Structure 1
Amino acid sequence: MSLSVGEAAPDFDLPGTGGRSYTLAEFAGKSVVLVFYPGDDTPVCTKQLNSYNDGLEQFANLDAQVLAISAQDVTSHEGFAGKHGFAFPLLADVDKSVAGTYGTLGPLGFPRRSVFIIDGDGIVRYAHRAIAGLTYRPVSELVDELEKLPS
């Protein structure tokens, strides 16, 4: 399945950092920047999530919540988030079911670096799936996309 712009974003319920589970539905009414990343403590993922953490104020000013998802478990996420001081949740999709639902799994079953912007009504308004995964979408691009959403 490949999720497209204009479609309803599938809800999920995943364990995450902070000792709790997260659902997409709990963020109804605000935009969500949903980030799928390949792995904790890898060079590109570390740069990507640090850049989003550094840009959190810009996201917050647009009433947008950042959520990051990968296949590692919560213990791995807690260590990764603690080491870098991430102020947004990292969610554990260990069976890759959410990655599959969002169409981010590559041909060998590894999640591709992908970003979705979901509006307050739960509709996908932006989708980017990387082919190689060596680069990531910059904060400025995501902020520009969020600014296009109706208030």
Structure 2
Amino acid sequence: MLEIGDKAPDFEAESTEGPVRLYTYKGKKNVILIFYPLNNTSGCRKQLCAARDALDEYAELDTAVFGINPGKFAGHQKFAQKHRFGFPLIYDEMWKIAYAYRILTLGGLMQARTVYVLDKEMIVRHVERGTPTTARLKEILNECNG
């Protein structure tokens, strides 16, 4: 994983809401990157639905949210439509983003469930394996907004 204080690697990728380039948010928004292993599993659905349910709170904290995994693009679209996430699911073709963010496990065969919080300068302010609570993420974002 990247360390707190590291500059987040830029990326450009396709998403369920069109092309996304991370650094277009630099100087404008904090960013939450949710790396999740699979579409349509109970753990991933629960995590992304929690993010969806907190979108208004994140928006108040000047924060954009993205889900990222290497699943098929069509699967991302169906998953996003079914649950009306309201934020882009990024297609991480060939695990390029997962590799840059150092979250691959099992000898590079799977991406670990990992959440990054980036401040407006794209500096890592928090990184956590698993599923941090909305309350914890909001606390970190409040610190980012100082």
What is the TM-score with the length of structure 1 in the denominator? 0.91
After TM superposition, give the deviation of residue 122 of structure 1 in Å.
1.1
Unpaired runs of at least 5, structure 2: none
Does 2:133 correspond to 1:122? Answer: no
Q: Which residue does the alignment assign to 2:87?
A: 88
Does 2:140 correspond to 1:140? Answer: no
Percent of pairs with identical residues: 34
Alignment of 1:38-117 (within 5 A): 38-108=37-107, 109-117=109-117
Aligned to 1:33, what secondary structure does the other structure show? strand
Unpaired runs of at least 5, structure 1: 131-135
Letter aligned with residue 136 of structure 2: E
Q: Which residue does the alignment assign to 2:8?
A: 9
Aligned to 1:66, what secondary structure does the other structure show? strand
After TM superposition, give the deviation of residue 73 of structure 1 in Å.
2.2
After TM superposition, give the deviation of residue 126 of structure 1 in Å.
0.5
After TM superposition, give the deviation of residue 21 of structure 1 in Å.
1.1
CA RMSD in angstroms comes to: 1.1
In 1, Cα distance between equivalents of 2:142 and 2:72:
33
Aligned length: 144
In 2, Cα distance between equivalents of 1:150 and 1:137:
19
Does the 8 Å CA contact 2:61/2:145 hold for their aligned counterparts? no
Letter aligned with residue 128 of structure 2: H
What is the TM-score with the length of structure 2 in the denominator? 0.94
Q: Which residue does the alignment assign to 2:23?
A: 25
In 1, Cα distance between equivalents of 2:91 and 2:144:
28
After TM superposition, give the deviation of residue 62 of structure 1 in Å.
0.2
Does the 8 Å CA contact 2:70/2:92 hold for their aligned counterparts? yes
Higher helix share: 2
In 2, Cα distance between equivalents of 1:50 and 1:120:
24
In 2, Cα distance between equivalents of 1:140 and 1:58:
10
Cα-to-partner distance string for 1:37-78 (whole Å, 9 max, x where unaligned): 001101100000001100001100000000110011221111
Which aligned runs of 4 or more in structure 1 are off by greater than 2 angstroms?
A: none
